[in-house]
């Protein structure tokens, strides 16, 4: 499983550089192996079913948005269950989590919420003089997110 996750992370990183949507390794491969698939035929059958899904994708487009709304509400409720796991009494953890949740909802964009949580996490650690607890890559990602926000705002002016 470690090799699959490593391949998944590399593919996602390289795909992002070229502007593609997220690439991901499908867990169907692991499920097929767990169920006894030991040859390449398991992967071929999985690929054929994915091709069938491509043909049937326009049918899914016929389903109106209001028909899928109940499923999205249930997903939202299940996601809210994770809020119990946030240490709300820990300021360093609560503020980034709060801004992530609020901005995801207000901006209709998960990426903006995650970006804001990165930025606020770094800011809070720096202000509280705990900057060494943050990995340098997180500072770099936060700087890029902040630059993205500034450029996006300037383009709208």
pLDDT of residue 156: 87
- Residue 64, pLDDT above cutoff 80: yes
pTM higher than 0.75, yes or no?
no
pLDDT band at 67 (very low <50, low <70, confident <90, very high): confident
In whole angstroms, what is the distance from residue 11 CA to residue 34 CA?
24
Buried b (16+ CB within 10 A) or exposed e, 52-91: eeeeeeeeeeeeeeeeeeeeeeeeeeeeeeeeeeeeeeee
Q: What pLDDT is attached to residue 80?
A: 84
Q: What CA–CA distance (Å, rounded) separates 24 from 9?
A: 8
Tell whether the model's pLDDT for residue 50 goes beyond 70: yes
Cα angle at 61 between 55 and 65, to 5 degrees?
155
Q: Which residue has the higher pLDDT, 13 or 22?
A: 13
Percent of the chain exceeding pLDDT 70 equals 89
**Mean pLDDT across the stretch 30-35?**
69
The pLDDT, as a whole number, for residue 15 is: 75
Cβ distance 23 to 31 under 8 Å?
no
Secondary structure element (H or E) that encloses residue 132, with its range: none
pLDDT in tens, 87-139: 999 999 999 999 999 998 898 888 899 999 999 999 999 999 999 999 999 99
Q: What is the pLDDT of residue 60?
A: 83
DSSP 43-77: HHHHHHHHHHHHHHHHHHHTS-HHHHHHHHHHHHH
How many Å apart are CA 92 and CA 155, to the nearest integer? 32
**Angstrom distance (rounded) from CA 91 to CA 140:** 22
Of 92, 81, 88, 84, nearest to 131 (Cα)?
92
């Amino acid at each position: 499983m470690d090799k699959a996750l490593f391949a998944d992370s590399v593919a996602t990183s390289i795909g992002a550089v070229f502007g593609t949507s997220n690439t991901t390794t499908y867990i169907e491969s692991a499920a097929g192996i767990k169920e006894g698939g030991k040859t390449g035929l398991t992967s071929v059958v999985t690929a054929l079913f994915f091709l069938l899904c491509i043909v049937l994708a326009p049918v899914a487009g016929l389903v109106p948005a209001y028909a899928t709304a109940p499923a999205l509400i249930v997903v939202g409720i299940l996601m809210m269950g994770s809020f119990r796991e946030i240490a709300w009494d820990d300021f360093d953890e609560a503020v980034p989590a709060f801004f992530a949740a609020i901005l995801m909802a207000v901006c209709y964009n998960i990426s903006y919420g995650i970006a804001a949580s990165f930025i606020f996490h770094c800011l809070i650690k720096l202000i509280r003089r705990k900057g060494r607890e943050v990995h340098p890559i997180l500072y770099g990602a936060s700087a890029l997110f902040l630059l993205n926000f500034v450029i996006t705002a300037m383009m709208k002016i």
